[in-house]
C-alpha cells in the first residue's frame, strides 16, 4: 500500500488531511511536513536507505522559506537518483491560473487541485496513481 506525504505549512490542514486519509484503505502511511526543506532532506535520506520512499507527494506551492516551486526544482533534479517514480500532486490555496500552467512544466506533477483536500481529490489522486502504475506495467 502506498505511502503519502503532504508538504504544507498549514498545520490545521495537516490534521484535516490526515483524518480524511485514514478513511481510505489505499494508504498505509501518511506523513506531514510543514517545511519543504525537511521533506527534501528525508527524500535524500530515503535514497540512502534511511527512510522509505513515499509513493505520492501532495504539495502546497505557497509556503515560506523553501517555496513549493523551489521544492519542485530540487525534486526534479533528485528524481534521477531515486529508485522509483514518485508523482507529485499540487494541493494549493492558490487560485492563480498561472500556477496551474507553471505546474505543467514539471514532469513529476500529475495534477493540480485546490485546497482543502476532499474525498474527490483523494479519489482522483488514487485513480491517477493506479492508472500510471498500470501503464508502467504494459
Q: What pLDDT sits at residue 25?
A: 63
Q: What is the spatial distance between Cα 129 and Cα 48, in angstroms, rounded to a whole number?
A: 25
Say whether pLDDT at 73 is over 60: yes
Q: How far is CA 127 from CA 113, 120, 133, in A?
A: 14, 10, 10
Give the tens place of pLDDT for each residue, 78-125: 888 887 889 999 999 888 999 999 999 999 999 999 988 888 898 888
User: b/e string for 62-99 if b means 16 or more Cβ within 10 A?
Assistant: bbeebebbebbebbeebbeeeeeebbbbbbbebeeeeb
As to burial, measured by CB atoms within 10 angstroms (0-12 exposed, 13-18 middle, 19+ buried), residue 109 is buried
- Residue spans of the domains in the chain: they are 54-93+101-114
Say whether pLDDT at 57 is over 70: yes
The C-alpha cell at 44 is 535524500
What are the residues whose beta carbons fall under 8 Å from the beta carbon of 21, sequence distance 6 or more?
4, 27, 30, 117, 122
pTM tops 0.85: yes
Q: pLDDT confidence of 136, banded at 50, 70, 90?
A: low
Say whether pLDDT at 1 is over 60: no
% of the chain beyond a pLDDT of 90: 39
The CATH class that applies to domain 54-93+101-114 reads alpha beta
Amino acid at each position: 500500500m502506498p505511502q503519502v506525504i503532504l508538504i504544507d505549512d498549514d498545520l490545521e490542514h495537516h490534521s484535516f488531511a490526515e483524518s480524511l486519509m485514514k478513511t481510505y484503505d489505499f494508504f498505509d502511511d501518511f506523513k506531514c511536513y510543514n517545511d519543504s526543506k525537511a521533506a527534501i532532506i528525508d527524500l535524500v535520506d530515503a535514497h540512502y536507505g534511511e527512510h522509505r520512499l513515499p509513493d505520492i507527494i501532495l504539495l502546497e506551492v505557497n509556503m515560506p522559506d523553501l517555496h513549493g516551486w523551489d521544492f519542485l526544482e530540487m525534486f526534479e533534479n533528485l528524481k534521477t537518483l531515486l529508485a522509483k517514480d514518485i508523482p507529485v500532486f499540487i494541493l494549493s490555496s492558490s487560485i492563480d491560473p498561472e500556477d496551474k500552467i507553471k505546474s505543467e512544466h514539471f514532469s513529476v506533477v500529475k495534477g493540480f487541485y485546490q485546497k482543502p483536500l476532499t474525498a474527490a481529490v483523494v479519489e482522483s489522486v488514487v485513480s491517477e496513481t493506479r492508472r500510471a502504475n498500470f501503464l508502467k506495467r504494459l
